[in-house]
């Protein structure tokens, strides 16, 4: 069981993302067409697990597996698709705590659109971000501290917010 830790927004998270993106760009080179900060640490003011989520867009996902050794040297553990078809996933840990998640998708993947829409929607609509943050605050007051249980508990809200985000994004195209 991974222990759930949720903390208030840290001003250092964007800087940590920038540092991580530069390190990853060196490893991925031209294979990475774009690198994005996603997840709760990318949303100013959001309570989050202190884990920087990075999304990398690549032109051809099949090239990513050849980078596993370089990622391991940089401290990342390759996890393959890890439950999402077409993704390559890496984790980084320090003192048995996750510090980074790296999600790699081929450009054009619906997953990229979902992650970016979710982030952008919560930034654009502070009332929705506040609702998500309140869920997190309420959750940690008395619920299980198991990350898997937390992920399952927030599934319906995240699905609703993602659906709203995708509709919002489509209406603004």
CATH code of 115's domain: 3.30.460.10
Chain-centre distance for alpha carbon 5:
16
Which residues, 6 or more positions from 49, have their beta carbon under 8 angstroms from its beta carbon? 4, 5, 6, 7, 40, 98, 147
Is 5 within the bounds of a domain? Answer: no
Can you give the pTM of this predicted structure? 0.94
Is 89 within the bounds of a domain? Answer: yes
pLDDT at 173: 82
Closest-CA residue to 99 (of 110, 87, 90)? 90
Is 120 within the bounds of a domain? Answer: yes
pLDDT at 136: 93
Domain count of the chain? 1
pLDDT at 167: 98
Strand ranges inside the chain, DSSP E? 32-38, 52-58, 76-78, 87-94, 97-106
pLDDT < 50 regions, the chain? none
Distance CA 111, CA 30 (A): 21
Is 48 within the bounds of a domain? Answer: yes
Q: What are phi and psi of 88, to 5 degrees?
A: -115, 135
**Domain around 164:** 13-171
Q: Does residue 65 contact residue 88 with C-beta atoms inside 8 Å? A: yes
């Amino acid at each position: 069981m991974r222990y759930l830790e949720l903390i208030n927004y840290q001003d250092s998270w964007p800087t940590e993302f920038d540092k991580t993106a530069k390190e990853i760009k060196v490893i991925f080179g031209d294979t990475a067409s774009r690198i994005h900060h996603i997840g709760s640490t990318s949303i100013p003011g959001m309570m989050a697990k202190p884990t920087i989520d990075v999304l990398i867009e690549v032109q051809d996902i099949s090239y990513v597996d050849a980078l596993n050794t370089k990622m391991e040297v940089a401290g990342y553990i390759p996890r393959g698709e890890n439950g999402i078809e077409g993704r390559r996933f890496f984790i980084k840990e320090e003192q048995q705590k996750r510090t980074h998640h790296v999600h790699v998708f081929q450009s054009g993947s619906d997953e990229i659109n979902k992650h970016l829409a979710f982030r952008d929607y919560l930034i654009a609509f502070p009332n929705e971000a506040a609702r998500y943050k309140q869920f997190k605050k309420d959750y940690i007051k008395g619920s299980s501290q198991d990350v898997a249980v937390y992920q399952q508990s927030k599934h319906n809200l995240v699905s609703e917010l993602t659906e709203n985000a995708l509709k919002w994004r489509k209406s603004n195209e």
